[in-house]
Structures are given as C-alpha cells and as structure tokens.
Structure 1
Amino acid sequence: MADLTEVTAAATTPSPDNSSATSTAPQIKPPEIKRFWGDEAEENPDELDGAAAADGESSTSELPVDQLSIKDRKDLDEPEDSNIQAVTSGETPYTSAKKFEDLNLTEELLKGLYVEMRFERPSKIQAITLPMILTPPYKNLIAQAHNGSGKTTCFVLGMLSRVDPKLQAPQALCICPTRELAIQNLEVLKKMGKYTGISAERAVPENIDNPAITPITRRPPVTTQVIIGTPGTIKKWISLKKLSLVYMKILVFDEADHMLAEDGFKDDSLRIMNDIKRSGAKCQVLLFSATFNDRVKNFVTRTIQDYNQLFVKKEELSLEAVKQYKVICPDELAKVRVIRDKILELGQKVGQTIIFVRTRNSAGYLHKALVALGYEVTTIQGALNNDDRDKIVKEFKEGLTKVLISTDVLARGFDQSQVNLVVNYDLPVKHDNWTEPDYEVYMHRVGRAGRFGRKGAVFNLLCDQRDTLVMEKIEQYFGTKANEVRSYESEEDFEAALKDAGLL
C-alpha cells in the first residue's frame, strides 16, 4: 500500500459503544472442580452451538418446540464515543459526511433513511465510513467499531448505493455467521431500500419439508440484486451454478472476525472470495466487526488488497457503556433462584432480558427449571429447526416474550433495543480450555444490552473457583472491574445494582 496516512477523524455527531483492550493474563493452573449443566451437555466441541450450528445445521432439540415458545424503533441520542481513527490507502480524498445529503445518494435512498429508518443525520462511524465506501475507486474497507454504533447501516447503505436497479442480476452479497443475523440484516435492507425497487432475498438453510420453499436445485438462476445469507448456503448456490458472480460489485462480511477465523468460516469465506475473483467481477470487499483479534487482523491484511481501515484506539476500547456485576452463588440451584427471585422479578420493570448459557443442554435444563417455577420464557439454540428459530426470535423482537435463554447463536449482532439486561448464566470460555475466557464472545454478549445508547446491565453468575478465575481474566483483559453484588439472597442489593445502572 502506498502513502499510508493516519487521520484522527473529527466527530460530526457522537456514537456509542465498546470493544476490547489487551492485557497479559497470568498463567493459572486449572483447579480441581466439579462439573455442572453447561459442562455435561456435549463433550465434543463440534456439537456445540458453533460454526456448524450457526449456519443452520439442526438436530433434535432437548425440549419439544411447543415448550420452547409462547404465543417503531424511536430515535435515540448517541452516547459520547472515543475517537475513531481512519487509515487511508493512497491519495483518494475523503470528507466526513455531516448529513446524508453529502453522500450523493438517490432521492429514493434518502427517503428510506428519513421516512422508514427515521434517521436525522449520520452517526459518527457512518459519517467517516460511508464516504470511504461510496467514493470511487471503491476501495476495500476493514472496519472495527463498537456494538450499536451504526455498522449495519454503513454496509446496507453501501450495498443499496452500488446496485443498478435496471440490471436484474446479483450485484451485492452479504455473508453473516448466523441465520438470525442474515434475516435481521435483510429486514434492515428492505426497510431502508423500500423506495428503490431493489430486490433482495436471503440465502440461509431452510426446512426441506416446508412446501413454500423451492429447493435450490429446482429453482431458476438467481436474478435478485442483493443476497444476504450464511456461508454454507451461499457456497452451495454458487457451486450449483444458481448464483452468478459476474456482476458482483460489493461483498460484505458481517462479524468478519468470526467469518475469517480458523474456528469459524474461514474456508468457506475464502472460497467465495476466490470464486468472485475468478468470475472477473470488480468487487469491493467490506469487512465489519466489533472485534478483530491479532491473528485475524494478520490474516485479513494478507488476504485483502489496497484497503482503507477504520478502528477505535485499542487503549480506548472498553465495556463501560453497560454496568457489569458479578454474583457469587454457592451452587447451581442458587443460580436458578437468583434468576427467578431477583433478576427476573426486577427485570420485568426495566425491559427484556437475555440469559446466555454455554451449551444446548444447559439451555434445556434452565428452561425447564424456570417454567416449572411458573416463568414464561423462550429458548433458542442451534438444535432447533429453522422455522422454530425464526418464530422464537420474531416473538421476542415483537415483545411477546420478555425473557430469552440463548446459547451463543445470538451473541453476535442480535439487535433488539428493548434488551436492558443480560445474564451470563455460564461465562463464555474456549471450547478446548475451560479456564480460558472467550473475550470476544463476552464482549458481544455484553453488547446485546444497552443498544442505541440505552442503559444496560450485565449480571455474571459465578459459583466455583473456575468461574472466579475466568471472571478475573475477563476483568484484567478489558481493564474493567465488575462490581460484586454483596449477597445473592438480597433483593435490596440487586435493586441497588439496577439503580446504579440507571435502570430503576
């Protein structure tokens, strides 16, 4: 790359959120501990809700589906954000956009932004990133910024802007790690592009017994202009010669760190990029995520050519936008009682709650325990079939359910502004080392609370020495301290925590 120039961009309007800072955790010998629900679920890491399950591979769930479910976002002020930095490649000039009119958008797109999305002006990340995406010669972009800072609007608007509505052929492709995120992004694109006439569809695993779904082998070639989907399905469409890449102008990887990680979807993602390159298409590549670890950063910089960068200074990344607490519980039953008697009782007053667990088995046990105690909860995990996953997410997004138990299938990118509480029933750890935290997953879980500048709180439930060690590593890594709730039995202590978080 020639002439790398680092620019600290001036804010036109503040924007949120948080990410990670590095620190060297001490080497700790794994303690002798007993095992719990989350440990007993699936001994084979391949059976966890990881890459395969995220792309919609389904099996028989622990609970019957009918037991897992029950029957206009307002404008918000963005909180103050740390400085976002841009590093540009070459001499292309970029000017921060103070208003959407500065971006030379069509009247149809402006109408979608103002009427359908109800936006008033670009967020900070949008003001800096959109000129990079939309200014010829359309260079590649690697963008890392906070959860809830407006990244989705950046790449959705980028795709809509690059598509020629008169050409009935695939021109924009967005690849996501989970079915839920792909569907959510498609909903945003259809809403924003309502007046453009641009066609869009999802490419995600579907239930083959659904009569409304035409198998890809029997459908005609895709003429839809924007495709949003998961890597396995998109790769299948390409291999079956149903998805042409000849006219592809823009390729987006949402949650790009996971899409290009060794234990994520790296192979499928590389194959899709290589297929586009072989097609001869002049395609702009956009990589968006709230987290990029050093290993993925090194891989990306070797794989993507001539790119601009946008990132938050590492020393300024934090989780301070959401209040974090730790609750010491003597055993697993006490964790259930804390959720039932303290968190859920108080949580009904402040909005919706997501409870994250480590495994499908843990999700099933916790669901049964809370339902037996009289609570109406829903549960989502990778073993459910696709239609049931869609139904449970829809119910939660529409506010029909207030409490959702989830494996990490919803940790990344799930967008629900009414979620104010997150409970880590199980702390996220590496599959091959249960004393080593999964820092990126922790940050993404925390990012589900307090979206769009709202207040939020996270309760981490700890009940053995391993949990304590993992939590200490998380605190050290992020340079933050989770306040301890003095007594797991005290409703007053939980109420005080929620007041401190600004939720009561």
Structure 2
Amino acid sequence: MADAETATATAAPPTTETKPPAAEPKRWGDIEDDAPEEPTRVSGSTSEVSLDGLKIDESKKINKFLDEPEDSNIKAVTSGDTPYTSASTFEDLNLSPELLKGLYVEMKFQKPSKIQAISLPMILTPPYKDLIAQAHNGSGKTTCFVLGMLSRVDPKLTAPQALCICPTRELAIQNMEVLRKMGKYTGITSECAVPMDSRDYMPISKRAPISAQIVIGTPGTIKKWMSAKKLGTSYLKILVFDEADHMLAEDGFKDDSLRIKKDIERSSSHCQVLLFSATFNETVKNFVSKIVKSYNQLFVKKEELSLEAVKQYKVYCHDELAKIQIIKERIFDLGENLGQRIIFVRTRNSASMLHKQLTEDGYTVSSIQGAITPEDRDKLINEFRSGLSQVLISTDLLARGFDQQQINLVINYDLPIKYETHEPDYEVYLHRIGRAGRFGRKGAVFNLICGDRDAETIRKIELYFQTEAIEVKNNDEEFENALRQAGLL
C-alpha cells in the first residue's frame, strides 16, 4: 500500500567512511460521507504550565541562526481589510502557555523567523483566510503550519480537526516528529497516515475510525481512509498542503489533492487552507488561485531564492569516470570532517552504478532509490539521521523537505532536468541545494558538469536565479579553497 513514489535502499555497514581496504493510481469515486457521528468530548485538562524561566537569555542562545530572518525578502499580499501585525516574539501571537513551552523547551526556538513572524498572524487571526506561502528552504515553514494546527484544535474534542498532506512518507514522518515535539504539553493527539509495511498492515475496513485531533499523511493513504469512512472531515478547521507546488502539479499529486479537497468542502465548508512550499512556478500559482477562496499570499522573488548561505560551485568533468574520481578523491578524502553529505543522481540506474562503484572501492555509502518496503526506507533514513551513515546517494525522492541539519555538502552528480522537455528543473535544483545550509547554516553545493548539455543546463540555472556557480578546477588546492570559502574548513 504505497503512494506515487516509494524507494529502494541499500546501505553498507553503519560505520564512517574509510578508504580502501574495507570489508565489505487507480481513481476512486465521489463517495458522500455518512452523517457524522457526534464526537466525544473528553474531560479534564492538560497540566498547568508555568512560563517562569522560559524567557531567553540573549547571551546564552542555542540556535543563533534563527536570528537571521531579514536575509529573506518576503513580500506579503493581503486580501480584504483584516489588519495583520508581524510578530516580533512568540508571545505576540497570544499562544497558550503549553505551546510556548513546546517552542522554547522542546524546539529550542528563541523568536520567530521572518516567515513565521509574517505568516502566523495571518494563520491565527479571524476570519482565518486561506494562505499561499513561499519562503526559503530551512526558514521555518514547518513550524508555521504545525503551530497553526495546534493553535486551532480543541483537545477536548476527539475528532480530526486538522489535516496535513505531504508528498512523501519521509516528509510526513518528519512533520509528525515536529508536531509531537511542539504539542508535547497540550494533550492534543495525532496520527500519521503513511504507507504501511507488510508486517504491520491491517485492512482499513478493520481499523477503528480515527479519533486523533491532527492527522498528517500522504495523499494515497489519506484518500483511502476517507473513502473507507475511517477519517471523518466534518470537524476539520484547517487543511495544509506541504510542498504544495508538487502536490498540485500535473506530474505530482494534483488529482489526489483536488479529490481530497473536494470531499472536505462538502462536509466542512469553512476549513482554512494553507499551502506552503519553497517554490511556486507560475502555472501552479495560477492554478492555486482558482481553487482557494479569498486568500493572503507570501512570496519571494526567484532571484532571491538561491540560498546565500550555500556556496554554489561547478566542476567540469571529461566523462562519468571523472565524476566518480572527484567524489572519491575530493568529496571523501577532503571531506572526512565536513559532516554529512548527499549525492543527488537523476535515475535509479545512476544510483545503483555509483553505489556499486564506491562500495567496491571500499567506501561506505548508503543509497535510496527505486521501490522497496517502507520499513527498509525508514531504516535507511534513521541510519542517516543518527549519523551511522555519512554519505547518502539519492534520487530526487529526498530533494524536498528532508531536514537533516548535519548536512553541509550537496553534490549534484546529475543536474535536475524535466524529462519531457529536457529543460532544467529549477524548482528541484533549489530544493536540492536547500538540503545544505538549513536555517542559514553554512553549506556548499558542487555541480558536476559533463558535456555540452550539462554546460547549457547550468548556464540556464544561473540565468534563472541570477547567480553564478563558481568554477572549481579538479585539484586539491582548488577544492580546499572552495570549502574554506564556504566556511566548511
């Protein structure tokens, strides 16, 4: 039971990399919901939370990178005459003591990032207008919609009241982790709807109806739960599309997303819709404007989207063997102390070939590609998150929303292109480089250029974002200088 994209994972033993020698979609019908059952109201309340001691000592900040929101030039376009005031502190948002404790104690936040400061008043202020929000990768978008959901939910009402839909299993699980940390003290329950592995699978017909107040999941599983009448929508107050450009794109999850939204509208006409992504092309923007009602909008000019904290480089290679040589001699040998690295490839075959070549030469890497069981995907991701694996080869499965703050280096073994036109995929490029430099941290991206087509592709990417990837010659001195300029050495 899987959604549109699943993955195959292969991993070498969980040790840090060493040099040789080393051992080693069917449519569903318009089904009307049954009359909603009266939800249960639970008695009791969450334990009293004291805010004493939660104020931040400016001299002892943990995450100083959150103090750099002004780097993003976010434009706001509001609809109607509702006044909104940007929040300089989380207290300005009139959040509950439980949510403030989750933000300060569990998430270690000090103050809102720029996207949070601007979007949260729009999300939390009646009449709760829809919102289309675009901001840089790693700028805190997840916190915006998670905090929005937690703020709107009544913990005494045991029925789904907030729903977040994500394009991949990994992103849904990641968002659920954030939700549980931020909502730890609220008494709010949650459930994650993702493809199940064969060992844990239970037919939907035998499952009890969902009573959790917040549900996060992938579109395939969500629509199956709704179709089976196991996910009620009559009490939904807020619907979130994470990575909304992909969720509403023709080659993404457009049909599933529209079907879910249509069914929700029939039973909950006043549900607020939030669409978040780092990228919105003009086609998706125009389409979104037709499916949401009176809405507010936040956006960033495309030339300001390429992350300034991430240095972009290009390395010209004679052939594929030269690419592999660069990865072994530069990315591994020079990068042992650089933190974790992701190597993006275009196809499953490239991932398999590169993984096989590197492991045969004695290097320890993991790769994610193709289609395997969900438990193997989870195992691979957990190994990488825990640091057991330092280098991960991936197709664009992990290009979007994969948040691992220890990633400092991204290698584009293949540049992203659109298969139907062979033009650069600018959105995917931006999402890829956004895996490094999370929340304004330092990072570097090396684009491996092989042949005239790659040269033309990187030229178009540079023109589109009005930036220039610095050329690096294939020698130790040039790579060391590049890493030093990126703040990684």
TM-score of Structure 1 vs Structure 2, range by shorter chain: 0.7 to 0.9
CA gap 1:354/1:70 in 2 versus in 1, 3 angstroms: same
Q: CA deviation at 1:444?
A: 0.4
- In the other structure, the counterpart of 2:92 is 102
Q: Distance in 2 between matches of 1:269 and 1:217?
A: 22
CA shift, 1:433, in A, is 2.8
Alpha-carbon offset, residue 349 of structure 1: 1.4
Map 1:333-352 → 2, pairs under 5 A = 333-352=321-340
Q: How does 1:207-246 map to 2 (within 5 A)?
A: 207=197, 209-210=198-199, 212-246=200-234
| Equivalences for residues 206-285 of structure 1 within 5 A | 206-207=196-197, 209-210=198-199, 212-285=200-273
What's the CA shift for 1:69? 6.2
Structure 2 match to 1:83: 73
> How is 1:284-295 mapped onto 2 (pairs within 5 angstroms)?
284-295=272-283
- Per-residue CA deviation, residues 423-473 of structure 1 (Å, 9 max, x unaligned), is 000100001133x11010000001001111211100011111111111111
Matches within 5 A, 1:441-480: 441-480=428-467
Pairs within 5 Å for 1:194-205: 194-205=184-195
Indicate conservation of the 8 Å contact 1:380/1:407, yes or no.
Answer: yes
The corresponding residue for 1:371 is 359
Report what 2:398 is aligned to. Answer: 410
Matching residue of 1:329 = 317
Asked if 1:380 corresponds to 2:365, the answer is no
Letter in 2 for 1:218: K
For the Cα contact (< 8 Å) 2:11–2:380, is it kept in 1?
A: no
Structure 2 distance, partners of 1:362, 1:150, is: 32
Q: Secondary structure of the residue that 1:311 maps to in structure 2?
A: strand
Tell whether 2:137 aligns with 1:147: yes
How many Å separate the matches in 2 of 1:341 and 1:114? Answer: 43
For residues 424 and 301 of structure 2, the distance between their equivalents in structure 1, rounded to whole angstroms, comes to 22
- Kindly state the Cα deviation for residue 56 of structure 1 after the two structures are TM-superposed: 4.5
The alpha carbon displacement at 1:68 in A equals 5.3
Change (3 A) 1:421 1:66: closer
Q: Gapped runs of 5+ residues in structure 2? A: 16-60
Range 392-401 or range 291-300, more displaced: 392-401
> Contact 2:351–2:394 (CA<8 Å) still a contact in 1?
yes
Per-residue deviation at 1:55?
Answer: 3.9
Question: Match for 2:14 among 58, 70, 94?
Answer: 70
Please report how far the alpha carbon of residue 217 of structure 1 lies from its aligned counterpart in structure 2 after TM superposition: 2.2
- Residue identity matched to 1:497: A
Q: Of residues 89, 95, 103 in structure 2, which corresponds to 1:113? A: 103
Aligned to 1:483: 470
Q: Deviations over 1:185-207 (max 9, x none)?
A: 00000011001111111111111
Q: Deviations over 1:324-350 (max 9, x none)?
A: 111111111111111011112222211
- Aligned partner letter, 1:150: G
| Residue 424 (structure 2) aligns with | 437
Q: Is the 8 Å Cα contact of residues 403 and 435 (structure 2) preserved in structure 1?
A: yes
Q: Write the deviation string for residues 84-104 of structure 1: whole angstroms up to 9, x where unpaired.
A: 221111111111111111111
CA contact (8 A) 1:56 1:205 kept: no
Q: Cα gap change, 1:280/1:452 in structure 2, threshold over 3 Å: closer, same or farther?
A: closer
Q: 2:161 aligns with which of 168, 171, 180?
A: 171
Candidates 176, 180, 191, aligned match of 1:186: 176
Please give the per-residue CA displacement for 1:394-441, whole angstroms capped at 9, x wherever unaligned: 11111111101111000001101110000000100001133x110100
Partner Cα distance (1:140, 1:252) in 2 = 10
Partners of 1:446 and 1:470 lie apart in 2 by 16
| Aligned residues: CA RMSD | 1.7
What TM-score do the two structures reach when normalised by structure 2?
0.87
Report the 3-state secondary structure (helix = DSSP H, G, I; strand = E; otherwise coil) of the residue aligned with 2:123.
Answer: helix
- Which residue of 476, 485, 488 corresponds with 1:500? 485
TM-score by length of 1: 0.85
- Structure 1 residue 321 displacement after superposition: 2.5
Paired letter, 1:252 = V
- Tell me the secondary structure at the aligned position of residue 430 of structure 1: coil
Q: How far off is 1:105 after superposition?
A: 1.1
CA contact (8 A) 2:407 2:437 kept: yes
Q: Would you say the 8 A contact 1:325–1:460 is kept in 2?
A: yes
Rate the CA distance shift 1:249–1:278 in 2: closer, same or farther, 3 A: same
CA distance in 2, matches of 1:101, 1:94: 15
Residue correspondences, number:
442
User: How much identity, in percent, do the aligned residues show?
Assistant: 69
Distance 2:261 2:429 in 1: 29
Cα drift, residue 179 of structure 1: 0.7
* Structure 1 contact 319–478 (Cα < 8 Å) conserved: no
Deviations 1:98-122 (A, max 9, x none): 1111111111111111110111111
Structure 2 residue aligned with 1:21? none
Aligned residue in 2 for 1:135: 125
Kindly provide the amino acid, as one letter, of the partner of residue 484 in structure 1. Answer: E
User: What is the distance in 1 between the residues matched to 2:2 and 2:315?
Assistant: 30
Distance change >3 Å, CA 402–CA 97, structure 1 → 2: same
Structure 1 unaligned segments of length 5 or more: list them: 1-51
Q: Which runs of 4+ in 1 moved over 4 A?
A: 65-69
Tell me the amino acid that sits aligned with residue 95 of structure 1. T
What secondary structure does 1:228 align onto? strand
Going from structure 1 to structure 2, the CA distance change for 1:93 and 1:430 (only over 3 Å counts) comes to same
